[in-house]
A and B are shown apart, each in its own frame.
Chain A
């Protein structure tokens, strides 16, 4: 009984704490910032499955990921056997990959950053340039709608002049609890190029989280990559060695 009361009380506290930010966050940029903060937080540690769907079948991979801030990330694959041990490390502007079979760490050349990550529909840039959408675009709310009891903001993001962005625009849908629902990438003449869609939202790590995301490209219909977050915790204190090259090659965690 007490616990129930306490839980209700905590929920109320949480709701009250969130409310002002919702009120303020009517500004498109703030909604976007909140959504990306919600997604990545200050730090996180998660377990994610990835399904790569191609015409000749599916490839299923599992990985463990650690992030800190917006420019430190480590992803280490755990399954299947032949991909296990492959790891990608981002620290600041540099990205390294580790291949256990070669026992080699390679710093990714610039040219490789837009290449496919582990054969998926995501590129290395998708992993490392998450801040770009916030800093290098101007944002406008073009639509506010209701869906499943939530307010959904549709935000149009247009690259700022001179910023190194190929897209003509991005259309992003964010729910009022700052869950990213959809991200559409358009070319410069307004054709849709690729979409990332949130298929499922669940409370995970104490917050509503897009646990299943599907990325697909208009260019290759019938092919997609799905990320399924199995578990994630936020606000984790990572050891300082975590995002280093030596840890990439010789994991201590």
Chain B
């Protein structure tokens, strides 16, 4: 124990006998850890932002459809508006908001182009509570009521159709009688979301669309959000119990894409972590080996005055461990500072088009995951100490005789 105390003191002093060498390693380790933590905060922010974006536009935290609609989303797979037990659950405190939509595959036509589209008949008042689309109107207005006979389209769709606010487009879909229904709609609003979303959906009043399609009050979809996302699995079970015949899914099952993005982010963080660990290990081995080589004389001397080879091994390992520990502390401090620096959000509106392409919002809010700030440094420290065993092993093999020859 006493031996260890002396060793520790010597190791610490040894570190600062050559400040330049120590600082280089320290910087590698500090910056390495900081980059891992910062990168993980950023990617988590991105993942969360794109998830919120994807869920916020339409998906919600979960959706209810008639059985078969998800596989074949058309007018043959609709359901009546929720009633009875299902209605009670949806109106309970467990659900913050829900909306019913009529969603049908169709075609949009302008003077210049005809494009496939998904037509959504919505309840504008409900959508304002649950969807981001009403807030994303950049020109004109959102829909006014269930029977609003106007249409809201995406900015990019308007560009592709070569049409503008105030002009009319034709929406077509197969009606309840199996015939093509086509109606003229005035564009009263243009929304700005990600390009894929803009190209995929147009919105109009739900009652109106039902009437046009020859329906009564059938709907295609219920989207809901909970006051607290952690209650989702339980709520899905409750809903399934209330409406066993319906297809009830959480957002991961509704949007495989959003779920895949979410897990892909995690993988990217781990890949980055792996790369950084390898780079840091190479850096540590390299500098420590060089150090051991440069210090041959020194090791020869302490061996000559009676230090056992095992003690030399301990000494060098301890030096690495101390150095790594300092690096870890500095890295964590830097990362925490970075977090507080960008707590108000990282405004990337300058790259808004690119951010849209990756499905993210324009402002990223770093996600503070306390576990990361413990697990990553410990992991890196352990690995760093393990790789430093090799230079330490080389140091232990230096004999006094060899050291003397080396000096000459």
Contacts and interface: CB of A to CB of B under 8 A. Distances in A.
Given A93-B180, A114-B109, A166 B169 contact: yes
B184 A93 contact: no
B180 A163 contact: no
A115 interface: yes
Given A163-B184, A188-B111, A110 B173 contact: yes
B44 to A, nearest CB: 41
A168 B170 CA distance: 12
Nearest to A164: B182
A193 B109 CA distance: 14
A188 B172 CA distance: 19
Contacts of A20: none
B168 interface: yes
A113 interface: yes
B183 A115 contact: no
A53 B212 CA distance: 40
Nearest to A108: B180
A157 to B, nearest CB: 15
A115 B111 CA distance: 13
A162 B184 contact: yes
A93 B180 CA distance: 8
Residue of A114, A164, A165 with highest tally of chain B CB at under 10 A: A164
Interface string B82-121: 0000000000000000000000001101111010100000
A52 to B, nearest CB: 20
B167 interface: yes
Contacts of B167: 188-189
Contacts of A159: 184
Contacts of B184: 159, 162-165
Nearest to B115: A111
29 contacts: A93-B180, A110-B106, A110-B107, A110-B173, A110-B180, A110-B182, A111-B106, A111-B116, A114-B107, A114-B109, A115-B114, A159-B184, A162-B183, A162-B184, A164-B172, A164-B182, A164-B183, A164-B184, A165-B184, A166-B110, A166-B111, A166-B168, A166-B170, A167-B111, A185-B111, A188-B111, A188-B168, A193-B112, A219-B112
Interface in A75-127: 93, 110-111, 113-115
A42 interface: no
Contacts of A115: 114
Name the prevailing secondary structure of the B interface residues. strand
Contacts of B107: 110-111, 114
A199 interface: no
Q: Nearest 5 CB-CB pairs, A to B?
A: A187-B111, A164-B182, A110-B180, A114-B114, A111-B107
B174 interface: yes
Contacts of A189: 167
Interface string A157-175: 0010011111110000000
Contacts of B168: 166, 188
Given A110-B106, A111-B106, 8 more contacts: A110-B174, A114-B107, A114-B114, A164-B172, A164-B183, A166-B111, A168-B111, A189-B167
B116 A164 contact: no
A185 B112 CA distance: 11
Interface residues of B, number: 22
A166 B179 CA distance: 20
Contact of B170 (A165, A187, A193): A165
A166 B109 contact: yes
Contacts of A162: 183-184
- Determine which residue in B112, B163, B167, B169 has the highest number of CB atoms from chain A within 10 A of its CB, and name it: B112
B174 to A, nearest CB: 6
A109 to B, nearest CB: 8
A111 B162 CA distance: 18
Interface string B150-173: 000000000000110001111011
Nearest to A163: B184
Nearest to A194: B111
Contacts of A168: 111
A219 B112 CA distance: 9
Contacts of B109: 114, 166
Contacts of B110: 166
Interface string A183-205: 00101110001000000000000
Interface in A137-173: 159, 162-168
Contacts of A188: 111, 163, 167-168
A159 B170 CA distance: 13
| Residue among A115, A163, A166 with most chain B CB within 10 A | A166
B86 to A, nearest CB: 33
A193 B168 CA distance: 16
Contacts of B169: 166
Contact of B111 (A163, A164, A193): A193
A110 B116 CA distance: 10
Contacts of B114: 111, 114-115
